[in-house]
């Protein structure tokens, strides 16, 4: 039985994306170093907003650029017939794309989340009561990314993916604004202790379930496609 | 041991909003070259993509090297080298990158052959794809398909847009690849000269249908142009295989398919004098086939 070529496809995409990944990692490191230097020399709200942008910006942009290049450009630049001429099915093609995008963005997102938690709570920018909400913010970002990744794989269309990016960005902001004003969240967010009440746990669990379901559904739908060029 | 057919398509159909592939039968043995000729939009690429498992037919069956497509496409594609006119390599990468990538997938990759092709095509493997001309890109793609030593080569319009010199190079290398007698090629083009040069079998496709599919020699043998003198304005014999009629005064030019030695006698018996019987080029045969299909005369005669 011939072995799957998914590892070779993942390796190929990682090699193609290496300069981009390294570039964004470098930008992140520089931003975090700058943030560390200027921390304490500016008002807290400014530091919080600036820090949020400097930490999240490179990771989110990196995730979007990579999914665009690996999923959308594969079709737009007509390299897809070359790849699909190899011993591979649509299902395996999709698996390979998920194995490239999810770990790269996931690791990056995990690192920036850790960094954000460090600045937000390790340096007492926010009270510990905000831990559940900040967790929801970062998980919400991952859910939005999963949805955009799914759209990019299913459509492989630049306009549709760009529209999805805009919609999920606005949608995630709206969603976070909504949950922060939910009484079970709002009443603890400025408190001295992290309160993981059923609402907070339910929202976090739902976010995790949505992310996993979207990825699984994408793989399933792709597996049913009969026409793929 | 009997080898399975290189390609065996039976009754394949595929419907799009503005185009339909209808009831396509296409088969040929391993070790032979099948040329698929048709104008743009005839359905050649759709047939090849169905053969490659990239499109699923709405009905019909496809077997490639004995593998059912698209279900067994992984096993089949391990032995297929595919080149399509709209296929592109990664622009930011070198030819060497692509060679390494393909080598990592195919155990059958032949380094010596790949290097020989690099020299023969005058390609520098350190050059990035974005710096290559169209002809060099086609040659690089051909190298990647050939050096993995596949049993079947599927080429969708590989020579389109190439200058005559590069086209000859590409065709020559394809011919050399066929020296291995078990290797088969399915080759689509609207350039009948390319098809005539390398094909054993030829299939004409038009409007999503197969017009004719035969051995190349039978094709060339089967068509004739008869130049006739009709001094008495006699009516033409009612032959079902007449494909074209041109008249200039008393001189008539008749093109027939399924020609045999009895055909001139029909005209002689009808009172016409047969001056010349000529063979047609493949291009002329193709054009008459298309013209005939367009006119719908085939339906009337049937």
Which range has the worst mean pLDDT, A22-31, B115-124, B170-179, B262-271?
Answer: B170-179
Q: For residue A84, what is the nearest residue in chain B, using CA coordinates?
A: B54
A183 interfacial to chain B (CB closer than 8 Å): no
CA distance B102 to chain A (A): 9
Nearest-CA distance B218 → chain A (Å) = 33
Residue B129 is given by DSSP the state G
Q: How confident is the model at residue A1 (pLDDT cuts 50, 70, 90)?
A: very low
What is the band of A168 on the pLDDT scale with cuts at 50, 70, 90? very high
Give yes or no for residue A203 having a pLDDT over 80.
yes
How many beta-carbon pairs under 8 angstroms link A with B? 70
Question: Which residue ranges make up each domain of chain B?
Answer: 7-218, 220-301
DSSP letters, A115-175, are HHHIIIIITTSS-GGGHHHHHHHHHHHHHHHHHHHHHHHHH--HHHHHHHHHHHHHHHHHH
- Structure letter (DSSP) for residue B181: T
For residue A77, the chain B residues in CB contact (below 8 A) are 88, 91
Which CATH fold would you assign to the domain B7-218?
A: Rossmann fold (3.40.50)
User: How far A70 CA sits from the closest chain B CA (Å)?
Assistant: 11
- Residue B82: list chain A partners with CB under 8 A: 81, 85
- A41 in contact with chain B, both atoms CB, cutoff 8 A: no
pLDDT digits (tens, 9 = 90+) for B15-26: 999 999 999 999
The domain B220-301: what is its CATH number? 3.30.70
pTM, 2 dp: 0.88
Write the DSSP string, B88-128.
---TTSBHHHHHHHHHHH-TT--HHHHHHHHHHTT--TTSB
Provide long-range contacts, Cβ within 8 A and 24+ apart, for A17-24: A17/A66, A17/A69, A17/A70, A17/A100, A17/A104, A20/A62, A20/A65, A20/A66, A20/A69, A21/A62, A21/A66, A21/A104, A24/A58, A24/A59, A24/A61, A24/A62, A24/A65, A24/A108
Q: What is the pLDDT of residue B298?
A: 47
Distance CA B216, CA A151 (A): 48
Among A43-47, B92-96, B161-165, the range scoring the smallest mean pLDDT is A43-47
Residue pLDDT, tens place only, B260-301: 889 999 999 989 999 999 999 988 988 888 888 887 744 554
Query: Residues B262, B274: contact at Cβ < 8 Å?
Result: no
**Residue A18 CB coordination number (10 Å):** 10
Instruction: List residues bridging with B80 in a β-sheet.
Output: B152
Compare A35 and A154 and report the one with higher pLDDT: A154
pLDDT of A44 > 80? The answer is no
- Chain B contacts of A92, Cβ < 8 Å? 74
pLDDT value at B1 more than 80 = no
First to last CA, chain A: 26
Mean pLDDT confidence for A181-195: 93
Mean pLDDT calculated for residue range B89-97:
96
Average pLDDT, integer, range A16-36: 92
**Which residues of chain B are within 8 Å of residue A79 when distances are taken between CB atoms?**
87-90
């Amino acid at each position: 039985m011939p072995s799957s070529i998914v590892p070779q496809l993942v390796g190929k995409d990682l090699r193609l994306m290496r300069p981009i990944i390294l570039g964004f990692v470098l930008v992140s490191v520089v931003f975090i170093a700058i943030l560390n230097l200027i921390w304490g020399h500016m008002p807290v709200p400014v530091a919080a907003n600036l820090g949020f942008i400097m930490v999240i910006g490179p990771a989110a942009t990196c995730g979007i650029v990579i999914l665009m290049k690996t999923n959308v450009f594969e079709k737009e630049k007509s390299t897809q017939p070359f790849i699909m001429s190899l011993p591979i099915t649509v299902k395996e093609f999709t698996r390979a794309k998920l194995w490239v995008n999810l770990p790269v963005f996931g690791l990056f997102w995990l690192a920036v989340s850790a960094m954000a938690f460090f600045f937000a709570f390790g340096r007492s920018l926010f009270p510990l009561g905000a831990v559940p909400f900040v967790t929801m913010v970062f998980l919400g970002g991952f859910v939005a990314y999963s949805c955009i990744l799914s759209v990019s794989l299913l459509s492989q269309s630049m306009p549709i993916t760009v529209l999805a990016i805009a919609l999920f960005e606005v949608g995630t902001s709206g969603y976070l604004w909504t949950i922060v004003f939910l009484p079970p969240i709002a009443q603890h967010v400025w408190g001295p202790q992290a309160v993981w009440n059923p609402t907070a746990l339910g929202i976090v669990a739902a976010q995790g379930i949505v992310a996993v379901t979207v990825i699984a559904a994408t793989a399933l739908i792709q597996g049913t496609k009969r026409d793929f060029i | 041991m009997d080898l399975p057919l290189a390609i065996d398509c039976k009754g394949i159909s595929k419907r799009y909003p503005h185009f339909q592939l209808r009831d396509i039968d296409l088969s040929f043995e391993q070790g032979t070259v099948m040329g698929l000729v048709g104008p743009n939009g005839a359905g050649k690429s759709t047939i090849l993509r169905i053969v490659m498992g990239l499109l699923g037919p709405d009905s019909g069956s496809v077997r490639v090297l004995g593998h059912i497509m698209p279900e067994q496409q992984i096993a089949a594609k391990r032995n297929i080298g595919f080149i399509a006119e709209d296929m592109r390599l990664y622009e930011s990468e070198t030819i060497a990158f692509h060679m390494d990538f393909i080598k990592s997938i195919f155990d059958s990759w032949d380094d010596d052959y790949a290097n020989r092709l690099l020299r023969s095509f005058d390609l520098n493997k350190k050059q990035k794809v974005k710096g290559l001309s169209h002809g060099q890109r086609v040659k690089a793609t051909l190298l990647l398909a050939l050096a993995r030593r596949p049993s079947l080569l599927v080429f969708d319009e590989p020579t389109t847009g190439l200058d005559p010199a590069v086209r000859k190079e590409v065709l020559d290398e394809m011919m050399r690849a066929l020296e291995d007698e078990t290797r088969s090629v399915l080759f689509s083009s609207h350039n009948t000269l390319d098809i005539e040069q390398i094909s054993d079998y030829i299939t004409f496709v038009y409007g999503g249908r197969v017009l004719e599919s035969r051995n190349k020699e039978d094709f060339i043998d089967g068509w004739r142009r008869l130049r006739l003198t009709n001094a008495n304005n006699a009516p033409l014999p009612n032959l079902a295989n007449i494909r074209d009629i041109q008249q200039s005064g008393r001189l008539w030019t008749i093109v027939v398919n399924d020609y045999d030695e009895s055909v001139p006698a029909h005209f002689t018996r009808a009172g016409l004098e047969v001056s010349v019987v000529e063979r047609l080029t493949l291009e002329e045969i193709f054009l008459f086939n298309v013209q005939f299909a367009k006119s719908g005369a085939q339906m009337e005669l049937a």
